[in-house]
């Protein structure tokens, strides 16, 4: 292997994956894990790794226990393929992040990146859907935690630790996930309003507190301000009509429709191609401020959870800093950004020191050699 070139390994078993990781680590190499390759540059910019271990051949759906609403899948299974297979039995994994180019995003990659979409509103994030996880550590250990049943508290919940760790602790090989029934019937209420984001934000907050149990509830500032609420179940239409009524009362133009197109649009607006994207961990009370952020070319807010994805078409360090000031003190992470911006900006924002030093302890216990994706994470981990 020539100096500077990256060696790519595509193991087809867990043992092979663990061995490749162990060898790379033992020879002091830096390793990155690759799923669909849709979020490889998230995190701090780092030099290219010397070794890349791909999950492209770890792509089997091992088990779909429809009766138990669980599945066991290898990390390299593309989410799209998994959803298609589950849908044949009327089920889904309640995870709908932006699918990436060619629907390439894999289950392992989505978990490692901690990405999520509109279904987050009612089903929680990826952390909430994982029942068990098998990982490879840099010393070649293959470790399982959790289980395959929907309820289990035996042992530490290492799956939570690895979810969102951006490949810095080890390689995710396999996960057991909780499934949900695919709703038979859905209906979406959509309310729109130009200009001032106030009315949209107020309606979204009102809906978040009503016991309507929306399946998804987003507020967005795209070409216009918009709030959309999806309902699922036998009475989906009735509830959507009720929500549309709330929207109208607040002066929004409201309709009820099937809405799948609108949800797809929101999903992709979370990550518009070529834009800089900042994910804000805010609070519900901040919704109006999030939607009104100056310079945001498209803004998608998971209205009830305080999470927002703010895209800027001309991404710059100043743009990031000004958004951060505007939404201070909410933490935020730069997801997509041109390399030159990424090199100058603080990707992870401020993180308090004691928490970072605890995270370092975790890193050095799981990956003492520092082989796994070094440098990309919070605090330079």
Partner 1 sequence: MPDLTSELRRICGDDRVVTHPQALRTYESDGLLQYRAVPRIAVLPDDAEEVRRIVTACRDAGVPWVARGAGSGLSGGALPVEEGVLIVLTRLRRILEVDLLDQRVVVEPGVTNLAVSHAVAPTHFFPPDPSSQIVCSIGGNVAENSGGAHCFKYGFTTNYVTGLQLVLADGEVVDVGGKELDVPGYDLVGAFVGSEGTLGVATRITLRVVPRPEATRTLVAFFDHTSEAGQAVSDIVGAGLVPGALEIMDRLSIEAAEGAVHAGYPNDAGAALIVELDGARAECDAAFGDVVSICERNGAAGVRIAEDEAERELIWRARKAAFAAMGRLSPNYYVQDGVIPRTRLPEVLERIDALSREHRLRVANVFHAGDGNLHPLVCYDAAVPGEPERAEELAGLIVAACVEAGGSITGEHGVGVDKKRYMPQMFGEGDLEAFQRLRCAFDPAGLANPGKVMPTPRLCGEVPGPYRQHPLEAAGVAERF
Interacting residues with partner 1 between 155 and 174 (CB under 8 A): 155-158, 160-161, 163-165, 169
Contact 80, 103 (CB under 8 A): yes
Binding mask 130-149 toward partner 1 (x if CB under 8 A, else -) reads -----x-x---xxxxx-xxx
Residue 338 within binding range of partner 1, rule CB under 8 A: no
Map the footprint of partner 1 across residues 282-311, applying CB under 8 A: 282-285, 304-307
Q: What mask, x for binding partner 1 by CB under 8 A, covers residues 37 to 76?
A: -------x-x------------------x-xxxx------
**Contact window for partner 1 (CB under 8 A) among 76-84, 154-162, 252-260, 312-320:** 154-162
Tokens of 129: 């859907």
Q: Which two tokens stand for residue 299?
A: 């803004």
> Per-residue contact track with partner 1, 114 to 133, x per CB under 8 A?
x---------xx-xx-----
By CB under 8 A, tell whether 245 contacts partner 1: no
DSSP secondary structure letters along 83-152: HHHHHTTTEE-S------GGG--BHHHHHHHT---TTHHHH--GGGTEEEEEEE-TTS-EEEEE-SSS--
Strand 31-34 to strand 51-54: parallel, antiparallel, or no bridges (unpaired)?
A: parallel
**Distance (Å, rounded) from C-alpha 162 to C-alpha 171?**
9
Q: Dihedrals φ, ψ of 225, to 5°?
A: -75, 140
Query: Footprint of partner 1 on residues 85-114 (CB under 8 A)?
Result: 90, 114
311 to 330, contacts with partner 1 by CB under 8 A?
Answer: 330
Among 37, 183, 198, 338, interactor with partner 1 by CB under 8 A: 183
By C-beta, is 231 or 263 nearer to partner 1? Answer: 231
- What is the residue whose two structure tokens read 């396999």? 174
- 302 within 8 A of 125, measured Cβ to Cβ: no
Q: How far apart are CA 265 and CA 373, in angstroms?
A: 32
Considering only 14, 42, 309, 348, the residue that binds partner 1 (CB under 8 A) is: 348
- Choose which of 88, 151, 273, 339 interacts with partner 1 (CB under 8 A): 151
């Amino acid at each position: 292997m020539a100096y500077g070139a990256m060696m790519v390994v595509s193991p087809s078993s867990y043992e092979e994956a663990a061995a490749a990781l162990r060898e790379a680590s033992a020879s002091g190499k830096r390793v990155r894990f690759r799923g669909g390759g849709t979020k490889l540059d998230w995190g701090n910019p780092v030099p290219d790794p010397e070794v890349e271990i791909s999950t492209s051949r770890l792509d089997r759906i091992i088990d779909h226990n429809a009766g138990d609403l669980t599945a066991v899948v290898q990390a390299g299974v593309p989410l799209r393929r998994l959803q298609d297979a589950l849908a044949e039995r009327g089920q889904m994994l309640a995870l709908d992040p932006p699918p990436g180019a060619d629907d390439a995003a894999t289950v392992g990659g989505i978990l490692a990146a901690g990405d999520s979409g509109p279904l987050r509103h009612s089903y929680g994030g990826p952390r909430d859907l994982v029942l068990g996880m098998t990982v490879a550590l840099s010393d070649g250990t293959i470790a399982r935690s959790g289980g395959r049943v929907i309820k289990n508290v035996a042992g530490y919940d290492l799956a939570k630790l690895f979810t969102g760790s951006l490949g810095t602790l080890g390689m995710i090989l396999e996960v057991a996930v909780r499934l949900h029934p695919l709703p038979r019937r859905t209906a979406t209420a959509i309310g729109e309003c130009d200009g001032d984001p106030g009315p949209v934000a107020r309606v979204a907050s009102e809906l978040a507190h009503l016991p309507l149990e929306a399946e998804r509830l987003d507020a967005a500032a795209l070409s216009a301000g918009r709030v959309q609420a999806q309902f699922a179940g036998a009475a989906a239409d009735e509830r959507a009509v009720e929500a549309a009524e709330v929207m109208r009362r607040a002066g929004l133009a409201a309709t009820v429709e099937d809405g799948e197109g609108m949800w797809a649009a929101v999903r992709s607006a979370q990550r518009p191609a070529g834009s800089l994207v900042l994910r804000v961990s805010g609070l519900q009370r901040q919704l109006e401020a999030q939607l009104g952020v100056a310079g945001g070319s498209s803004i998608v807010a998971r209205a009830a959870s305080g999470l927002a994805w703010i895209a800027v078409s001309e991404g710059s360090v100043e743009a990031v800093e000004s958004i951060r000031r505007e939404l201070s003190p909410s933490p935020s992470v730069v997801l997509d950004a041109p390399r030159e911006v990424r090199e100058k900006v603080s990707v992870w924002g401020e993180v308090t020191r004691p928490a970072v030093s605890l995270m370092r302890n975790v890193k050095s216990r799981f990956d003492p050699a520092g082989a796994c994706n070094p440098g990309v994470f919070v605090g330079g981990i």
